[in-house]
């Protein structure tokens, strides 16, 4: 009888924070855990988002039994819009709130007909071909998140999802360790666990501590209170509404994603507020400053967000008043720090006081700290361990932590995207790598921006562009030009003599190569001008010669 096995192929989320996507497959069945995007580094000029490569999934779509969504953050659901056009009525499994957020994204692209929604409840078990998945509630910075207990022909797998262990959970938002322990009681072959905060000792702040800190801010604030947070942090929003009611204030909110998520959460009963502690933006003009709270987007300094426009005095409904208190109740995502501090500085210029995580306890991470990761390891006690959701150093340190909790060093595996691993009843083996290089999305272009285009954008950003235009008649006589235009290279009025010298170089090239074909002349002009600019200015712009013949 052939040995039972299951192969895990990470397509994103290992060696990086974001773009989470992992395929689990047997001979007959496949499931996908999450399908997220990642926001680009600053060096990816002009790129909108980064998504996993979908070829692996599409080539096996005949045995795809469903896509499991652990929770509704963009780095877990954001890439669905680029995958589902290649699938037909694929089943999506997740909590009601998670599926509502996913469907909103798909409806924006008229892709909602490509999926079938299957909302699941806490501790529910769903059979998907040769797999069965049990959904175990976890506490995170978004409501209705799940860890997964996955039954496979080779054995049991636990995927924690993004989680933390709140020691004093509010409103039932807790990680169900009993469910993890119950699923693990029959033995767990492999555990996949969130590694984001493995470098932070102890426990993360509890939501009660954040609420107490916010309560103090509300009590001391004399003017308006503006709060920016992640648009999916529904639990924190409820705390804001409750504190507003306690301190005699009313909450207005602005920002497209924020309004959308509030509508979804209120419709599902996760947000509770009424006219006594809320108001429309238009009503703010009739309220005293000490009666106002404004929820708005822009926690990461996004240029077009509500808070950024307020800081630049460009918002049509809100201007900063002297004495306003701005609460930035979210963490600074690496890469966004400069944009965020620019917004903070602008807010101070307008007379506001700004509170953020580094100066006051007004945000708690949604990811487990080291002690919480230990608790999860001890609860599940797996035979094999693979850290996920983190940069390489996070994966490495999480694997070390697993070894310190009794897992054999050779059984704590550090994988990267595209490195499959097969589990069987007799052991584990690494498979040949699959091509999993991420795809860059720029506008409507998907994957057309590669290294060569990025290199040109980097040069354009750092050195600029020079365009040379001249026209020859049929006898080779120059009838127009050479004309030189520069963009991002030099200020032409100050360096006009440089451009005049460049024109002389172009004329020398033309005179020295009579009868030469146009494309050869263009290449000679390009190389001559680049040498000249490097020698005179130590700059190396992109040079584009254009020779027309009439």
Which positions are annotated as active-site residues? 194, 367
Burial 279-300 (b: 16+ CB within 10 A, else e): beeeebeeeebeebbbbbbbbb
Phi–psi pair at 339, nearest 5 degrees: -65, -40
* Rounded distance between C-alpha atoms, residue 355 and residue 348, angstroms: 11
- Write out 38-102 in H/E/C secondary structure: ECCCCCCCCCCEEECCCHHHHCCHHHEEEEECCCCCHHHHCCHHHHHHHCCCEEEEECHHHHHHH
DSSP codes joined into one string, 289-350: GGGEEEEES-TT--TTSHHHHHHTT--SS--PPTT-EEEE-S---TT-HHHHHHHHHHHHHT
* Rounded distance between C-alpha atoms, residue 447 and residue 435, angstroms: 14
Name, in order, each residue with C-beta under 8 angstroms of 108's C-beta and a sequence gap of 6 or more: 81
* Rounded distance between C-alpha atoms, residue 478 and residue 518, angstroms: 13
CA distances from 208 to 141, 166, 287, 362, 472 (A): 13, 9, 30, 11, 77
* Rounded distance between C-alpha atoms, residue 40 and residue 375, angstroms: 33
Cross-sheet strand order for the sheet of 542-549: 478-487, 465-472, 542-549
Name, in order, each residue with C-beta under 8 angstroms of 297's C-beta and a sequence gap of 6 or more: 228, 231, 254, 255, 256, 257, 258, 305, 306, 307
- Reduced to 3 DSSP states, what percent helix, strand and coil does the chain have, rounded to the nearest 5? 35, 25, 40
Contact 403, 412 (CB under 8 A): yes
Q: Residue 487 forms beta bridges with which residues?
A: 465
Name, in order, each residue with C-beta under 8 angstroms of 496's C-beta and a sequence gap of 6 or more: none
Q: How many Cα atoms within 13 Å fall on the side-chain side of residue 20?
A: 28
Name, in order, each residue with C-beta under 8 angstroms of 323's C-beta and a sequence gap of 6 or more: 222, 223, 224, 289, 351, 352, 353
CA distances from 363 to 167, 316, 332 (A): 16, 29, 10
Contact 74, 37 (CB under 8 A): yes
DSSP codes joined into one string, 219-257: HH--S-EEEE--TT-HHHHHHHHHHHHHTT-EEEEE-HH
* Rounded distance between C-alpha atoms, residue 160 and residue 188, angstroms: 13
Contact 306, 297 (CB under 8 A): yes
């Amino acid at each position: 009888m052939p040995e039972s096995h299951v192969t895990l192929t990470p397509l994103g989320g290992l060696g990086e924070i974001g773009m989470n996507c992992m395929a689990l497959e047997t001979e007959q069945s496949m499931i996908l855990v999450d399908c997220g995007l990642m926001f680009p580094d600053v060096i990816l000029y002009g790129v909108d988002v980064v998504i996993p490569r979908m070829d692996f999934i599409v080539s096996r779509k005949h045995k795809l039994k469903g896509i499991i969504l652990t929770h509704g953050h963009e780095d877990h659901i954001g890439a669905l819009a680029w995958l589902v056009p290649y699938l037909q009525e694929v089943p999506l499994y997740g909590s009601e709130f998670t599926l509502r957020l996913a469907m909103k994204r798909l409806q924006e692209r008229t892709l909602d007909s490509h999926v079938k929604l299957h909302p699941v409840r806490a501790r529910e078990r769903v059979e998907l071909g040769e797999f069965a998945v049990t959904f175990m509630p976890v506490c995170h910075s978004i409501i209705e998140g799940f860890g997964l207990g996955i039954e496979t022909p080779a054995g049991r797998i636990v995927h924690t999802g993004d989680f933390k262990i709140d020691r004093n959970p509010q409103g039932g938002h807790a990680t169900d360790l009993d469910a993890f322990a119950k699923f693990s009681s029959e033995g767990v072959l492999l555990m996949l666990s969130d590694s984001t905060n493995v470098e932070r000792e102890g426990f993360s702040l509890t939501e009660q501590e954040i609420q107490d800190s916010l309560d103090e801010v509300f009590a001391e604030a004399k003017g308006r209170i503006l709060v920016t947070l992640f648009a999916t942090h529904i639990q924190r929003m409820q705390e804001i509404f409750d504190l507003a009611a306690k301190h005699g204030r009313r909450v207005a909110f602005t920002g497209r994603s924020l309004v959308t998520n509030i509508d979804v959460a209120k419709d599902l009963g996760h947000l509770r507020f009424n006219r006594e502690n809320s108001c429309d933006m238009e009503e703010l003009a009739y309220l005293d400053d000490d009666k106002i709270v404004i929820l708005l987007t822009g926690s990461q300094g996004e240029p077009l967000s509500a808070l950024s426009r307020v800081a630049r005095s460009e918002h049509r409904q809100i201007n900063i008043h002297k004495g306003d208190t701005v609460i930035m109740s979210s963490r600074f995502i690496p890469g966004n720090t400069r944009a965020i501090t620019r917004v903070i500085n602008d807010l101070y210029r307008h007379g506001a006081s700004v509170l953020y995580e580094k100066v006051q306890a007004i945000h708690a991470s949604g990811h487990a700290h080291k002690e919480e990761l230990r608790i999860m390891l001890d609860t599940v006690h797996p035979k094999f361990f693979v850290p996920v959701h983190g940069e390489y150093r996070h994966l490495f340190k999480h694997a070390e932590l697993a070894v310190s909790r009794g897992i054999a060093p050779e059984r704590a595996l550090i994988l990267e995207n595209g490195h499959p691993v097969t589990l069987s009843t007799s052991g584990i083996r690494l498979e040949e790598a699959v091509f999993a290089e991420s795809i860059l999305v720029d506008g409507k272009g998907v994957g057309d921006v590669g290294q060569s285009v990025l290199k040109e954008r980097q040069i354009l950003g750092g050195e600029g562009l020079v365009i040379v235009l001249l026209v020859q008649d049929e006898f080779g006589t120059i009838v127009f030009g050479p004309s030189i235009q520069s963009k991002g290279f030099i200020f032409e009025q100050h360096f006009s003599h440089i451009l005049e010298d460049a024109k002389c170089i172009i004329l020398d090239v033309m005179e020295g190569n009579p009868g030469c074909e146009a494309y050869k002349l263009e290449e000679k002009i390009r190389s001559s001008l680049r040498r000249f600019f490097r020698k005179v200015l130590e700059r190396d712009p992109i040079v584009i010669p254009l020779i027309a013949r009439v």
